[in-house]
Amino acid sequence: MNYSRRSFLATSAMTLTAASAQKVVGANERIRLGFIGLGGRGSGSAKWFSKIAGVEIAYLCDADQKHVDRAKKLYPQAKGTQNLRDVIEDKDVDAVVVSTANHWHVLASVWACQAGKDVYVEKPISHNIWEGRKLVEAARKYDRIVQGGTQQRSDELQTAIKDYFDSGELGKIKYVRCNRYGKRASIGRRKTPLEIPKSLDYDLWLGPAQDLPLYREKLHYDWHWDWNLGNGELGNWGPHIVDDLRNVVFRDKLKYPKRVIAGGGRLGWDDAGTSPNTHFVYMDCGDIPVIMDVHNLPRAKGVDGGDVYKRRRTSSFLIVECENGYYAGGRGGGRAYDKDGKVLKKFKGDAGGAHAQNFIDAVRSRKKEELNAEIEDIHLSSAWCHLGNISYRLGQQYSREQAEAQVSDFQGWNDVIGDFHEHLKANEIAAGGSDVRLGAMLEIDADKETFVGASATTPALNLLRRHYRRGYEVPEVV
């Protein structure tokens, strides 16, 4: 049956829910999965889940028919469609894996919850903070198993690191430095709008996003660097890193930082991207402050390699500075060092290879507490990254003196600003240009998920959510 956008929205919380929301998968029943979004991440997830005993790849969906056709060659037994509503309506599909562009994550997942399906949704689980909370509400209301795609949560390495910190050998944690040093390239800037391929249902692909002309060279993947569709590198790799931070250091007990400020710019490329390629963030987390560096430019101009954190001579993305030394690690491994740089202990993991299995196990048991990345935790990890993006987007003309004065009592903040200037110098970019900005200091009400005090301006509050295209609105009441 072909529903219009309006009729689908009208029925999703009533007819579909009444028919299937109470469906419970038995312990030995076959799990039939529908995959929504079949780009690089979605195709990889289908391969991942297909290896799990008792799992069937039942439905393949992507707004681009070329992606569907490619996936069908690997899973010919599966149904194929461009319309995610077909997957969500199918009573034989038990759960969906959402690997679309970021702007579709929440609406697709909410519709699936309303239709009685469990959900595995990629990071960031939301395009903005408000809609992320709506997905948590939908998971609770419809009693769904909803897992976020931060697979490091399923690596036993995480427990080993926590146990080591608890042993006291490194002493008290002083502060944390998070880094993402991944070299990328310009996405280009066209003089005329990008022609949409005939294989794409563009209306469905846009979904909740605004219909704006695209001036980048490629349609797929490079949406990451467009605020209308993605969340920049802080929203791309950031949720993985921040999720490690929240899990290992704060043990998921800290809901939000007290304050957040960010700066940086999209520098050196002059392309169609709108998100920064050089980004630094401070998060006031009380006794354990956090700083974060995101660099997409190379180590230096003409160098074919990403940057490194020079103080520790590492590209590790989680560096926990302690009284007696520090821990430095990333996906699948890390090391603890004493003050002199001597290795105290090595840690090795599998980067979370059992994450898909963990989701399937919870779908069978119906116990959300068995999920390693239950949706509320990953909503928060995504939201921390959204805060850094909001501060940046509110930014004004940058000056080093003003930036350092924002957190004058924390040397780590001055260090990250100093690294920013060194990085620009190495890439032969002036730090005083109009493309560099210093963001607003945001004060967060953790319980209400909003801004307070002087930071509760209309522009800041508007960035907690978005304007949805008609027919693709995330509902106020899920």
Q: In terms of Cα–Cα distance, which of 109, 152, 104, 122 is closest to 42?
A: 122
Q: What count of other Cβ atoms lies within 10 Å of the Cβ of residue 115?
A: 27
Pick the last residue of a domain from 101, 135, 151. Answer: 151
d(CA 476, CA 40): 32
Q: Which of 65, 66, 221, 44 is nearest to 57 (CA)?
A: 44
pTM of the model: 0.95
pLDDT tens-digit readout, 310-328? 999 999 999 999 999 999 9
- Does residue 359 form part of some domain? no
Co-location of 170 and 119 in the same domain? no
Q: Is 354 exposed, middle or buried (0-12, 13-18, 19+ CB in 10 A)?
A: middle
From CA 363, how far away is CA 25, in angstroms rounded? 7
φ, ψ of residue 82 in degrees (nearest 5): -90, -15
Please report how many Cα atoms fall inside a 13 Å half-sphere around the Cα of residue 225, on the Cβ side: 29
Mark whether 91 and 199 lie in a shared domain: no
Query: What distance in Å separates the CA atoms of residue 242 and residue 317, rounded to the nearest whole number?
Result: 10
Condensed to tens digits (0 to 9), the pLDDT of residues 221-259 reads 999 999 999 999 999 999 999 999 999 999 999 999 999
Residue 326 tokens, joined: 């520090």
Domain co-membership, 133 together with 210:
no
Paired with 55 in beta bridges are: 31
| Judgement on whether residues 255 and 123 belong to the same structural domain of the protein | no
Same domain, 146 and 240: no
What is residue 432's predicted lDDT score, i.e. its pLDDT?
78
Chain centre distance of CA 115: 24
pLDDT at 20 over 50: no
Residue 17 pLDDT more than 90? no
For residue range 362-418, what is the model confidence (pLDDT) as tens digits?
999 999 999 999 999 999 999 999 999 999 999 999 999 999 999 999 999 999 999
417 part of a folded domain: yes
- Residue 143 domain-assigned? yes
Closest CA to 224 of 272, 179, 189: 272
List of residues 6+ apart from 57 with CB closer than 8 A? 33, 35, 46, 49, 50, 75, 77, 78
d(CA 55, CA 30): 6
What is the pLDDT at residue 25? 61
- Contact criterion met (CB below 8 Å) for 1 and 89: yes
Q: Say yes or no to pLDDT of 123 above 60.
A: yes
Token look-up 């990333």 returns 330
Is residue 364 domain-resident? Answer: no
Are 263 and 334 in the same domain? yes
Q: Do residues 58 and 206 share a domain?
A: no
Query: How much is the pLDDT for 28?
Result: 59
In a domain? residue 247: yes
Confidence check: pLDDT of 10 > 90: no
Other Cβ atoms within 10 Å of 4 Cβ, number: 10
Report residue 35 as tokens.
């995959």
- Cβ–Cβ under 8 Å, residues 389 and 466: no
Residue 41 counted as domain residue: yes
The answer to whether residues 158 and 98 belong to one domain is no
Q: Are residues 185 and 73 in the same domain?
A: no
Q: In the listed set 103, 121, 151, which residue is the last one of a domain according to the structure?
A: 151
Residue 76 belongs to some domain of the structure: yes
Average pLDDT over the chain, rounded to an integer: 94
Position 470 in a domain? no
Domain end position, chosen among 151, 168, 199: 151
Query: Domain range spanning residue 203?
Result: 154-352+373-462
CATH of the domain at 220: 3.30.360.10
Least confident span in 193-202, 368-377, 423-432: 423-432
CA 136 to chain centre: 15
Q: How far apart are CA 4 and CA 16, in angstroms?
A: 15
pLDDT at 134 over 70: yes
Residue owning tokens 């393949």: 60
Give yes or no: residues 164 and 140 share one domain.
no
Helix 40-50 to helix 355-365 angle, to the nearest 10 degrees? Answer: 60
Phi and psi, residue 175, nearest 5°? -165, 170
CATH of the domain at 140: 3.40.50.720
The domain total for the chain is: 2
Do 216 and 80 have their domain in common?
no
Pair 97, 187 in one domain: no
Mean pLDDT, residues 9-37 taken together: 63
